[in-house]
């Protein structure tokens, strides 16, 4: 069985429509298994079985579990970036505190649509350079949202707030990851209200 060390070659890109459909099925299966089992407990064998594919087919496109997780997490990060970009028209000209309501509402929906995001977000094996690039991109989108409000948040403050807001979203991810946590919704509401009141007081 191929090694699952992160030093393996990059995942093979599918060249035909059938191959792309197969990769989509494998990623969907990986999403389900990672969400249910977590990254460490998930196995390539189980992911292949969930997709109705052979283990050889899975290794054809993703030679290690880490590469599979990286591909899925990258797709999730792109989806989150797209979500932030899509919020711009809704928040343009609105008061800064509106961002808290809209952002946390949409982020809750994002986590529901991308259930493996929680399991994969804090893997210690994530490439630091890729992690930094993703973080900077997301912060940049949040800065755009803050500077487009009315009144606009000054760019230096918006840059500082973007760091805080992204960390608050990470806290929300951690809370979602606590399967046995009671009152999860109330805790997330407190985070949203804390940010809303802070932005309203600027």
If asked whether residues 166 and 73 sit together in one domain, one would say yes
Structure tokens, 42 = 């998930």
If asked whether residues 129 and 189 sit together in one domain, one would say yes
If asked whether residues 24 and 90 sit together in one domain, one would say no
If asked whether residues 138 and 156 sit together in one domain, one would say yes
- Other C-beta atoms within 10 Å of 179: how many? 8
**Does position 13 have pLDDT exceeding 80, yes or no?**
no
Structure tokens, 5 = 């060390």
Q: Tens digit of pLDDT for each residue in 82-103? A: 999 999 999 999 999 999 999 9
- Cβ-proximal residues to 195 (8 Å cutoff; 6+ apart), any chain: 99, 100, 104, 165, 168
Asked whether 173 and 104 are in contact (CB, 8 A), the reply is no
Count of domains observed in the chain? 2
Report yes or no on 74 lying in a domain. Answer: yes
Structure tokens, 167 = 């960390």
The residue range of the domain holding 145 is 69-200
The average pLDDT across 156-161 equals: 98
Report yes or no on 101 lying in a domain. Answer: yes
51: domain CATH number is 1.10.10.60
The average pLDDT across 99-118 equals: 93
The reported pTM is 0.82
**Does position 15 have pLDDT exceeding 70, yes or no?**
no
If asked whether residues 115 and 193 sit together in one domain, one would say yes
If asked whether residues 93 and 24 sit together in one domain, one would say no
146: domain CATH number is 1.10.357
DSSP string, 125-170: TS-HHHHHHHHHHHHHHHHHHHHTSSSPPPHHHHHHHHHHHHHHHH
If asked whether residues 131 and 182 sit together in one domain, one would say yes
Residue ranges of alpha helices (H) inside 38-127 are: 44-51, 55-61, 65-91, 98-113, 116-121
């Amino acid at each position: 069985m191929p090694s699952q060390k992160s030093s393996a070659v990059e995942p093979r890109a599918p060249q035909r429509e059938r191959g792309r459909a197969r990769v989509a099925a494998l990623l969907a299966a990986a999403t389900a298994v990672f969400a249910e089992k977590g990254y460490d407990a998930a196995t390539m064998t189980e992911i292949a079985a969930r997709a109705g594919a052979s283990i050889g087919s899975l290794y054809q496109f993703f030679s290690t579990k880490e590469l599979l997780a990286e591909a899925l997490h990258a797709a999730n990060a792109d989806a989150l970036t797209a979500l932030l970009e899509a919020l711009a028209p809704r928040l343009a000209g609105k008061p800064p505190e509106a961002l808290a309501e809209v952002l946390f509402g949409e982020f809750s929906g994002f986590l529901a649509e991308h259930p493996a995001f929680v399991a994969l977000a804090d893997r210690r094996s994530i490439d630091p350079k890729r992690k930094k690039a993703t973080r900077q991109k997301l912060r940049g989108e949040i800065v755009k949202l803050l500077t487009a409000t009315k009144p606009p948040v000054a760019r230096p403050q918006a840059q500082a707030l973007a760091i805080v807001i992204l960390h608050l979203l990470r806290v929300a991810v951690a809370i979602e990851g606590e399967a046995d946590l009671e009152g999860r919704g109330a805790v997330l509401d407190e985070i949203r209200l804390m940010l809303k009141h802070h932005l309203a007081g600027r």
